[in-house]
């Protein structure tokens, strides 16, 4: 037995608040692994991704769900994507690396980001106060993603439902981003 053990305490662990027309919560155990496509090895990497997740690598600005629903893929730029999946242990990167078998470069991003899910009929109105991206369903359809800035903080926003958005922001500033979102919701309720 080791002399010491470590307890995980992600920044917004357990946060879940109902504001009426909006619910805001921090999903638990969301692992994020970045996948970079090697220059010249894009086709092989895409093939490996297809084999691993059962779906094609989405276009830039889009996300897709693995065939067996075990993970989601977000394409952030021409040579970079994120795989998101539930995972409690700190070995997410190894799991994805094993699946891709060297066809792409992987990095663990689980602790880099802090996720918040905003949902409800008032979600879009609240986000209007901090998000420059057009979130109208015609402009930001289901499975659309964008990397942008809100209240000086880099944020990845994904539309995961009719009135549901997943927001990833840096874990070190998670409290500030939460404050920005809570203020937006309160200001628009």
Chain residues in the site for another protein (CB under 8 A) = 1-11, 34, 36, 38-41, 60-61, 76-80, 90-91, 105, 107-113, 128-134, 136, 138-139, 146-149, 151-154, 170-173, 175-177, 179-180, 183-184, 187
Q: What ranges make up the beta strands (E) of 109-183? A: 113-119, 145-150, 153-161, 164-170
Smallest separation (angstroms) from another protein to the CB of 117? 18
Compare residues 50 and 152 and give the one whose CB is closer to another protein. 152
The Cα–Cα gap between 140 and 138 comes to: 6
Tokens of 34: 């970045």
Smallest separation (angstroms) from another protein to the CB of 181? 12
Compare residues 67 and 179 and give the one whose CB is closer to another protein. 179
Class of residue 37 by CB neighbours under 10 A (exposed 0-12, middle 13-18, buried 19+): buried
Smallest separation (angstroms) from another protein to the CB of 63? 14
Task: Quickly list DSSP for 56-104.
Answer: PPPPTTBEEE-TTSS-EEEEEETTEEEEEEE--SS-HHHHHHHHHTTSS
Compare residues 55 and 125 and give the one whose CB is closer to another protein. 125
Compare residues 68 and 139 and give the one whose CB is closer to another protein. 139
Smallest separation (angstroms) from another protein to the CB of 124? 11
Chain position carrying tokens 């992600």: 10
Compare residues 72 and 127 and give the one whose CB is closer to another protein. 127
Strand order in the sheet with 113-119: 16-18, 23-25, 113-119, 164-170, 153-161, 145-150
Smallest separation (angstroms) from another protein to the CB of 102? 10
């Amino acid at each position: 037995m080791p002399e010491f053990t470590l307890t995980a305490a992600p920044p917004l662990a357990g946060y879940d608040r109902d504001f009426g027309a909006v619910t805001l919560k921090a999903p638990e155990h969301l692992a994020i692994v970045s996948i970079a496509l090697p220059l010249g090895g894009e086709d092989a990497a895409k093939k490996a991704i297809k084999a691993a997740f059962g779906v094609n690598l989405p276009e830039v600005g889009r996300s897709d769900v693995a065939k067996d629903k075990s993970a989601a893929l977000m394409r952030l730029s021409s040579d970079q994507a994120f795989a998101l999946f539930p995972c409690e242990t700190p070995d997410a990167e190894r799991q994805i690396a094993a699946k891709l078998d060297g066809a792409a470069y992987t990095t663990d991003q689980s602790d880099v980001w802090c996720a918040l899910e905003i949902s409800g009929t008032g979600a879009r109105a609240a986000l209007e106060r901090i998000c420059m991206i057009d979130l109208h369903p015609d402009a930001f359809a289901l499975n659309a993603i964008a990397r942008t800035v809100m209240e000086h903080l880099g944020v990845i926003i994904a539309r995961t439902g009719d009135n549901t958005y997943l927001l990833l922001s840096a874990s070190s500033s998670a409290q500030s981003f939460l404050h920005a979102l809570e203020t937006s919701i309160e200001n628009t309720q």
